[in-house]
Amino acid sequence: MTQAFFDLVAAVVIVGALGVVMARSTVYAALFLIASLLGVAGVYVLLATEFLALVQLLIYGGAVTVLLLFALMLTHVRDLRERAPEPAQRLGALLAGGGLLAGFITMVYRTRWPRDNGTITSIDFNTIGNALFNRWAVPFEIASGVLLVALVGAVVIAMQEEGEHL
Amino acid sequence: MTSVPQEIPLEQFIVLSAILFSIGVYGVLSRRNAVLVVMSVELMLNAVSINMVAFAVYTAPTLFVGIIFAIFIITIAAAEVGLALAVILRVFRNRGTANIDEIDTLKW
Amino acid sequence: MTDAWVLPALPVAGFIVLLLFSTWLPRKGDWIAIALMAASFALVFPIARDVALSIGNGNFQGVERSREWLNIPGYIEIRMGTFVDQITLVMLFCVTLIALIVMIYSTGYMRGDKRYGWFYAIVSLFVASMLSLVLADNLLLLYFSWELVGLCSMLLIGYYYDKQTAAEASKKAFITTRVGDVGLLIGIIILFTQTHTFNIQDILRMAEAGEISRQWLTASAVLILAGACGKSAQFPLHVWLPDAMEGPTPVSALIHAATMVVAGVYLVARLLPLFEVVRGMPELITALGLTTTTIAVFCGLAQRDIKRVVAYSTLNSLGLMFVALGSGAVGAAMLYLLTHAFFKALLFLGCGSVIHATEEQEVDKLGGLWGKLPITAPMFVVGALAMAGLVPFSGYWAKDEILVGLYNGNLNSIALIVTMISLPITAIYMARLVMLTFFGTVKDAHVHGHAHESEPAMSWPLLLLGALAVVSGFVVFEGVGKALGFHSGFLGFIFNAAEGPETFSVNWGLAVGSVALVVTGLGLGTWMWWGDAEPSKRAAAFSPLLYRLFYNRFYIDEVYQFAIDKIVLATGRVVAVFDRAVVNDSGVNGAGETASFLGWLGKYQQTGKIPNYALAIVIGIVVIFAVAFGYRT
């Protein structure tokens, strides 16, 4: 039962990812991305970390994707279609991605993984909350600072200058 | 913190993460539109997150550093997407295109 | 015995303070320099008392105080320290006293100058270097100080560096003395390789014992003599001294008359045992001194610049000191050095007073100043008479001892004859200088009109030096020496242990002869330049060729210039071509152009497209994977 759920989720993630990198239409690619990210949320559920799954849905499925769609819209992507990459570049990309995958898989098969008793630890919201605001409080605050700076920076960079027009 | 039965071995998550990462790399290398490149980068980030969470719950449950890491990755990804959008917009305004293979002033 | 290192340390402190803070100090800090100089001068007396007591106890060999400076066990040990004996003491006394007088004089002469503080700073540094030069117990420290005094000399000659001639004169002085200094350095290195020590007394002991091979000893002696010639302006390196008069006049008095230029004399006197071991060396020293003297007296006859005449008289005196050293009469040379310091400083400061009063230094425009300068003029005449060597002025006693030394020595009698001939000529040009400056007709009414006697800060040093120029010669008498606390007169004081006590003796023939020559010279000079100086004009017209030869200093400068242009610069041009063609074009530019060409080839590899670069990165990672797995199977 769980294995079947994993297979389904994995299929969603991989198909979505393939759609992102191969769809001709940019908007389709964005929709595929949403699917893939939702699949990742499913993976988090399988790993018994519901908090992460929720965050994933909220931030990735919501905010990030919307931002990306805004970007597509603002850059006037004509007819929403992208030209295919140069054959040489696509071949190189295939080789590189395939090579990397082969390397990872080889590594996974070469490694002796710990055999456990078939259980994992479920980490509930309280635990994560306590950890975030006690032990990891300083990195958490720094991260929020980074976010603030990044957003202000983004506004400054994107601001329309004199003589510019969209 | 409670123990939950789990019948899927760790390797499956790792392999899934590897596949997702490699697809992301392929996307970064082959897409022309800068926005799509950013999407592919998001795929790679998610692959890394899966990896970390899987290791955290399987091997170091009391520390769950990996989960904290995943939270920070999501945070930074949000910031990164915002900045990337701004940069792409600025490039688009200056050069009239968001296709990164047309931006080649780095060459001689 | 007082630690002698304090003597140079005081002016060094003055130098540092003035260099850093003179701008903010009242009076630019000249009082600091003068106070430290006075303290340094005062400290000579305890040292002198100790030396006098030690000599009284017999067998005095000098006092050495040194500490380890560099020690590589089993390989080399170098000690630095001070050495005080009679020669050192004479130098210490003369340097500190003249420096003090000159510094006081300069408060008047240099007043209002825009680099007043800098002047005092450099003079302090000079005095410190000069003191450490004479105190050095080893050749290394001596060489350091030697270069430092040269540097100070250059800086002070070029004090008015915004004046073209001054800048060039300082360059000339530095380069010319450097020719000799290189010789000195090589000579010191040769001595070190032969003896493995820099200590002067050890080296002299080994040289006298014949422990240094003859060729190396000869080579080092010649090279060190070259250094002494450069510093003391002996032929053929004498050309810089007349030009050095571009510096402020107090500097000329201190450095280019009384102290630095006698460093060469001091060096030869200090190393005389070494020179005497080498065959032919005393004769060489004497010959150089005679040549310099001869050139100087004739050039002195025809110069028109008041300071240049005195500069040539300095060359004349330095030549005489070398002659004395060549004949082995160290006592006579040191006595001449001491008295010369006083009367030559007097002459220069007198010149300075005249220049200060009239703002003119061409003798053709001076004249009739006797009444106008009631202190400067008589003091200048005293200095001139001492320089000419009229009895009983100090110059007479010293010069007479040189003549006695030549007469008793084993040198060829030609040396004595040439020296005797130079005496009346010296007298003539000193008489000429006095007549043209202070007597004779007024040539420039304007210059004459606004002339005025200098302020007390300048006239008191003149009076003091005038007194010293009269009486300092009397130290030859045994009674005077004893009255000053020493066991004998000056000559016995200098020649203590080495050759037994020597007492002052008068050779009546030489004495009467030299006085007669000097009086004749003075009378002839006075007659020739009396009033309108008609006889001198007739003399110049009689032989214009000779006059031009004297006026142009025997064309030695021109010969050097010709040699530099034709030989040095021609070689330089050849080397320059090599530098341009081989070093610059092939070596430097070639390397650059090769890199540029390779870059031109390589730049077409760059597409400028980010995906290409990213692809390269990922392929690199894959390759690393492959390599890592390949190793770990």
Last residue of a domain, one of A60, A79, A98: A79
**Residue A33 domain-assigned?**
yes
Of the candidates B28, B30, B104, the beta carbon closest to that of C607 is on B104
Residue C114, pLDDT > 50, answer: yes
Structure tokens, C5: 């290192």
Of the candidates A49, A144, A151, the beta carbon closest to that of B57 is on A49
Phi, psi of B57 (to 5 degrees): -75, -25
Could you give the number of structural domains in chain A? 2
Q: Is the domain of A74 the same as that of A140? A: no
User: Which of the two residues, A123 and A98, has the higher pLDDT score?
Assistant: A98
Residues of B in contact with A160 (CB under 8 A): 93
Phi, psi of C488 (to 5 degrees): -160, -175
Q: What is the CATH number of the domain that holds A6?
A: 1.20.120.1200
pLDDT for res A116: 62
Tokens 């080649």, residue located: B104
Q: In this predicted model, what pLDDT tens digit does every residue of A5-19 receive, in sequence order?
A: 899 999 999 999 999
pLDDT for res C31: 87
Q: Is the domain of A9 the same as that of A75? A: yes
- Average pLDDT of the residues in C130-154: 91
Residue C395, pLDDT > 70, answer: yes
Residue B82, pLDDT > 50, answer: yes
- Average pLDDT of the residues in C600-610: 79
CB contact under 8 A, C607 and B25: no
Nearest to C554 by CA among C317, C303, C330: C303
Nearest to C46 by CA among C1, C91, C96: C1
Structure tokens, C232: 């003391």
CB contact under 8 A, B23 and A97: yes
pLDDT for res C497: 44
Dihedral sign (CA C420, C424, C427, C428):
negative
Residue C125, pLDDT > 80, answer: yes
Rounded to a whole number of angstroms, the distance from the CA of C587 to the nearest CA of chain A is 43
**Residue A153 domain-assigned?**
yes
pLDDT for res C292: 92
Residues of A in contact with B3 (CB under 8 A): 119-122
Query: Where residue A127 falls among pLDDT bands split at 50, 70, 90?
Result: confident
Would you call C629 an interface residue with chain A, using a CB distance cutoff of 8 Å? Answer: yes
Of the candidates C607, C611, C618, the beta carbon closest to that of B107 is on C607
Long-range contacts, A51-59 (Cβ 8 Å, 24+)? A51/A123, A51/A124, A51/A125, A51/A128, A51/B67, A52/B49, A52/B53, A52/B67, A52/B70, A52/B71, A55/B71, A55/B74, A56/B74, A59/B74, A59/B77, A59/B78
Is the Cβ–Cβ distance between C420 and C517 less than 8 Å? yes
**Residue A164 domain-assigned?**
yes
B27 residue type, one letter: G
Q: Is the domain of A72 the same as that of A142? A: no
- Kind and range of the H or E run holding C69: strand C63-72
Query: Where residue A76 falls among pLDDT bands split at 50, 70, 90?
Result: low
Query: Where residue A115 falls among pLDDT bands split at 50, 70, 90?
Result: low
DSSP for residue C82: E
Structure tokens, C102: 């000159």
Polymer length of chain C: 633
Domains in chain B with CATH codes: 10-95 (1.10.287.3510)
Would you call C583 an interface residue with chain B, using a CB distance cutoff of 8 Å? Answer: no
User: Which of the two residues, B12 and A162, has the higher pLDDT score?
Assistant: B12
DSSP characters over C212-247: S-HHHHHHHHHHHHHHHHHHTT-TTSTTHHHHGGGS
Nearest to B57 by CA among A114, A106, A56: A114
Query: Where residue B78 falls among pLDDT bands split at 50, 70, 90?
Result: confident
User: Which of the two residues, C450 and C108, has the higher pLDDT score?
Assistant: C108
Q: Is the domain of A2 the same as that of A75? A: yes
Would you call C605 an interface residue with chain B, using a CB distance cutoff of 8 Å? Answer: no
**Residue A53 domain-assigned?**
yes
- Average pLDDT of the residues in A69-81: 70
Beta bridge partners of C71: C77
Residue C1, pLDDT > 60, answer: no
Beta bridge partners of C305: C362
CB contact under 8 A, A96 and C629: no
Q: In this predicted model, what pLDDT tens digit does every residue of C444-464 receive, in sequence order?
A: 777 777 777 778 888 888 888
Nearest to C348 by CA among C315, C317, C306: C306
Is the Cβ–Cβ distance between B3 and A119 less than 8 Å? yes
Structure tokens, C450: 């606004």
Structure tokens, A107: 């590594």
Give the neighbours of chain A: at least 3 Cβ pairs within 8 Å. B, C
- Average pLDDT of the residues in C29-45: 89
User: Which of the two residues, C331 and B5, has the higher pLDDT score?
Assistant: C331
Query: Where residue C633 falls among pLDDT bands split at 50, 70, 90?
Result: low
Last residue of a domain, one of A50, A79, A108: A79
Residue C505, pLDDT > 80, answer: no
Which A residues 82-121 touch B at CB under 8 Å? Answer: 82-83, 85-86, 89-90, 92-94, 96-98, 100-101, 104-105, 108, 113-114, 116, 118-121
pLDDT for res B106: 67
pLDDT for res C544: 79
How much of chain C exceeds pLDDT 90, in percent? 15
Residue C443, pLDDT > 80, answer: no
Nearest to C313 by CA among C389, C211, C219: C389
Residue C132, pLDDT > 50, answer: yes
**Residue A119 domain-assigned?**
no
Last residue of a domain, one of A49, A79, A109: A79
Q: Encode C540-580 in three state secondary structure.
A: HHHCHHHHHHHHCHHHHHHHHHHHHHHHHHHHHHHHHHHHH
Phi, psi of C115 (to 5 degrees): -115, 40
DSSP for residue C362: B
DSSP characters over B44-85: HHHHHHHHHHHHHHHH-TTT-HHHHHHHHHHHHHHHHHHHHH
Euclidean distance between CA atoms C411 and C280, whole angstroms: 11
**Residue A151 domain-assigned?**
yes
CB contact under 8 A, B29 and A96: yes
Q: In this predicted model, what pLDDT tens digit does every residue of C182-221 receive, in sequence order?
A: 999 999 999 998 888 888 888 888 888 888 888 889 999 9
> What rounded mean pLDDT belongs to chain C?
85
Q: In this predicted model, what pLDDT tens digit does every residue of C241-298 receive, in sequence order?
A: 888 888 888 888 888 888 888 999 999 988 888 888 888 888 899 999 999 999 888 8
pLDDT for res A163: 65
**Residue A117 domain-assigned?**
no
CB contact under 8 A, C609 and B100: yes
How much of chain C exceeds pLDDT 70, in percent? 96
CB contact under 8 A, B4 and A122: yes
Rounded to a whole number of angstroms, the distance from the CA of C608 to the nearest CA of chain B is 4
pLDDT for res C2: 56
**Residue A146 domain-assigned?**
yes
Query: Where residue B35 falls among pLDDT bands split at 50, 70, 90?
Result: confident
Best C596, C604, C609 residue to mutate vs chain B (most B CBs within 10 Å): C609
What are the distances in angstroms from CA C567 to CA A16, B92, C407?
Answer: 88, 71, 43
- Beta strand A119-122 with B2-5: parallel, antiparallel or unpaired? antiparallel
- Average pLDDT of the residues in A50-62: 88
* Number of CB pairs, chain A paired with chain C, less than 8 A apart: 33
Is the Cβ–Cβ distance between C11 and C37 less than 8 Å? yes
Give the neighbours of chain C: at least 3 Cβ pairs within 8 Å. A, B
Residue C406, pLDDT > 80, answer: yes
Best C610, C612, C617, C618 residue to mutate vs chain A (most A CBs within 10 Å): C618
Can you give the residue range of the structural domain that contains A155?
Answer: 136-166
Best C609, C610, C619, C631 residue to mutate vs chain A (most A CBs within 10 Å): C619
Residue C57, pLDDT > 70, answer: no
CB contact under 8 A, C611 and A89: yes
**If 0-12 CB within 10 Å is exposed, 13-18 middle and 19+ buried, where does residue C147 land?**
middle
How much of chain A exceeds pLDDT 70, in percent? 89
**Would you put residue C506 in left (φ > 0), alpha (ψ -120 to 50) or beta?**
beta
Rounded to a whole number of angstroms, the distance from the CA of B108 to the nearest CA of chain A is 20
Would you call C622 an interface residue with chain A, using a CB distance cutoff of 8 Å? Answer: yes
Euclidean distance between CA atoms C30 and C160, whole angstroms: 19
Euclidean distance between CA atoms A94 and C495, whole angstroms: 102
pLDDT for res A3: 85
Euclidean distance between CA atoms C630 and C612, whole angstroms: 27
**If 0-12 CB within 10 Å is exposed, 13-18 middle and 19+ buried, where does residue C511 land?**
middle
Residue C524, pLDDT > 60, answer: yes
Would you call C621 an interface residue with chain A, using a CB distance cutoff of 8 Å? Answer: yes
Tally the C-alpha atoms within 13 A of residue C623's C-alpha that lie toward its C-beta.
6
> How many degrees, rounded to 5, is the angle at CA C427 between CA C422 and CA C432?
125
> How many other β-carbons are positioned within 10 Å of the β-carbon of residue C631?
7
Within 8 A by CB and 6+ apart from C244, the residues are C153, C157, C169, C173, C252, C255, C256, C311
User: Which of the two residues, C101 and C1, has the higher pLDDT score?
Assistant: C101
